[in-house]
Amino acid sequence: MEMWTIATVIAAVLVLMALTLWAVKRSARNASSGRDDRYTPERILTPEQAHMLDYLQDTFPGQVVLPNITLTGMLSVRRAVNRTRAQQRLNEQKVDFIVCGEDGRPSFAFDIEQHHLSDAKAKAHKVKMKNRILKSAGVRFVFLKNGIHRMPSPADFRAQLNLAELPKPPPKVDKRDSAMQQLESQFSGFDQQHSSNNGFRESEVMGMSGLMDLPRQLGGGRPRNKVGNGSFGESRQPGESGFDGSSYDVRGG
């Protein structure tokens, strides 16, 4: 009887070990397959961003408008002294919205203005760097008011943006040698063209006031109107700049 009891205990232990091993293997198999994983949706747009997205889609009917895009997802390094650092700058920046042209390349980038009480100088530097990067790619960067009730009608806004659109650098080609030399020549011509575009300095970030000033700077002489009556741009006192520390608000990016 004792021998049978020992054998029974040993058999039970072996069965238990086999069951444990099977359970461990099954758990590992399920973990690798992900079949027991569960997920929950996260907010990708705030209500403010959702309203602004609708507004921009009305401003650019038939064109692609995308929210929350990193610069590395929309630009590539064309030429740089240090390509690794230039790529890092792309990785560090994002914009709230981009608008693509018919060729699928971005034409405009937008951030919604926000007030920051801390690190204002560092954030301002980061915004100017973002603007410089985008401008070198032929993408106009504009700050939007933080609410569509403060924006002009989509038609008026689009009319002003048409004046501010930047020329695009030529697209990449696959051929090398002479083709690359020709392309580099085209890029150099583009760089010279955009560096003086519309009289804006390289460090300037275009806000709504600066956008409204474009017709006057280009010789149109169109009068300014205050926000709230269907036009846009805020009234300023004579002698005030179209771009200064108060004409836009930097964001973390």
pLDDT at 66: 96
pLDDT at 237: 37
pLDDT at 243: 34
- Secondary structure in 3-state letters for the chain: CHHHHHHHHHHHHHHHHHHHHHHHHHHHHHHHHCCCCCCCCCCCCCHHHHHHHHHHHHHCCCCCEEEEEEHHHCCCCCCCCCHHHHHHHHHCCEEEEEEECCCCCEEEEEEECCCCCCCHHHHHHHHHHHHHHHHHCCCEEEEECCCHHHCCCHHHHHHHHHHHCCCCCCCCCCCCCHHHHHHHHHHHHHHHHHHCHHHCCCCCCECHHHHHHHHHHCCCCCCCCCECCCECCCCCCCCCCCCCCCCCCCCCC
Inform me whether the pLDDT recorded for 228 exceeds 70: no
User: Mean pLDDT score of the chain, rounded to an integer?
Assistant: 75
Instruction: For residue 214, name the pLDDT band (cuts at 50, 70, 90).
Output: low
Instruction: For residue 225, name the pLDDT band (cuts at 50, 70, 90).
Output: very low
Inform me whether the pLDDT recorded for 156 exceeds 90: yes
pTM strictly above 0.75: no
Inform me whether the pLDDT recorded for 222 exceeds 60: no
pLDDT at 167: 86
Which of 52-66, 107-121, 122-136, 184-198 is least confident? 184-198
pLDDT at 248: 38
Q: Which stretch, 58-67, 157-166, 177-186, 234-243, has highest mean pLDDT? A: 58-67
pLDDT at 203: 46
